[in-house]
Chain A
Amino acid sequence: MSLTSKEAAESLAQAEEAVRRSKKLYFYHCSSSHLMMWGGIWILGYGGTYLASHYWQWLWGVLIVAGCAGGYFIERRRGKCETDRSGWRFTGVMAIAVTFAICTYAIMWPVGGPQYTAFPALLTGAIYAAVGLWTGLRYFVTGVLVMALTLFGFYMIHSDLILLWMAFVGGGSMILAGLWFRTV
């Protein structure tokens, strides 16, 4: 049985599509743990800031370090069955994001409580939306949702309740997105 060049090209295209789809599913699966962990950190951070606002620097400092360490260990655990460069890269991305946020506060000083609350969430949403362009619709939807909820809270809630809004709506949407990614 012989194969025409058209049939061969179709088979190759199908194989490429299968590889692309498989990579996308794997990415969703791998990132769901990170999303749920950072969603939990988000809830603890904003919720803790609402309850004990004087200690927010210490609280966020500890939570970010714990998140970086947790992300590293999630990747290392996965690294046993595949290439293991993503652990330190993940920590590197977090360090770059934190540096960017600090530089932004420095050039836009003075920065108040609501801005401190909203800017990291806006940044996170923009990153997810951009990553979604290359990895899949679910990331894009999560990013747009986080940005929209953040701006809604910033403009509509004019008290400390914005912290609780960001805790449960922002963090909650990340945890839900992590669970959603597992259903693929």
Chain B
Amino acid sequence: MSLTSKEAAESVAQAEEAGRRSAEVHFYRKASPHLILWGSIWVLGFTQNDLFPRYEDWGWLLLIAAGVIGGAIIARRSAVLDRGRFAWRLFAAAAIAAFFVFATYAIMSPVSGAAMVVFPALIVGTLHCAIGLWSKSRFLISGFVVLAASLCGFFFLHEHLLLWMAFVGGGAMILAGLWCRTI
């Protein structure tokens, strides 16, 4: 049985599509625990901001430290499959993001409390949208939801912004993490 050049090209295209799809599913699986972890931190952080504003600095420091350690453990666990380069990159990416946030506050100073609450959410939403452009449409949708929810909260909810950010921003990330598991 011989194969025409058209059939051969179709087979190669199908194989490529299967490879792309498999990489996408793998990415969703890998990203899901990180999304759930950071979504939970988001909920806990903003809730304690609203309920115990006196301890907000310490609370956030502890939560961020827990998140970075948790993220590294998750990444190391999946590193069995990924040759272990992901963990230190995650640390470095978090350091770059933190530096960018502090540098932005420095050049935009004085920055209002509401802007400080919403800005990290804008970064997260934007990152999700950018990741979503590379065939991961679920990230694009969750990114838009986070962006839109953050801006709505900033412009329309002056009194309950912290709780809004806790449950809408964090909740959107947790739901996106659970959604990524269903694929």
B126: CB under 8 A from chain A?
A: yes
Stretch at the interface among A36-44, A60-68, A92-100, A175-183: A92-100
Residue-wise, chain B 70-88 has the 8 Å CB interface mask toward A (1 for contact) of: 0000000000000000000
Is there an interface contact between B122 and A100, defined as CB atoms closer than 8 Å? Answer: yes
Q: How large is the interface on A (under 10, 10 to 19, 20 to 34, 35 or more residues)?
A: 20 to 34
Residue-wise, chain A 113-145 has the 8 Å CB interface mask toward B (1 for contact) of: 011001100110010011001100000000100
B133: CB under 8 A from chain A?
A: yes
Given contacts A89-B133, A103-B147, contact A115 B119 (CB under 8 A): no
B104: CB under 8 A from chain A?
A: yes
A103-B151, A126-B99, A126-B100 known; 18 new pairs, CB 8 Å cut-off, are: A89-B134, A99-B126, A100-B122, A104-B104, A104-B108, A106-B151, A107-B118, A107-B119, A107-B154, A108-B111, A119-B107, A119-B108, A122-B100, A122-B107, A130-B93, A133-B89, A143-B96, A151-B106
Interface residues of B (CB under 8 A from A): 89, 92-93, 96-97, 99-100, 103-104, 106-108, 111-112, 114-115, 118-119, 122-123, 126, 129-130, 133-135, 147, 151, 154
Interface residues of A (CB under 8 A from B): 85, 89, 92-93, 96-97, 99-100, 103-104, 106-108, 111, 114-115, 118-119, 122-123, 126, 129-130, 133-134, 143, 147, 151, 154
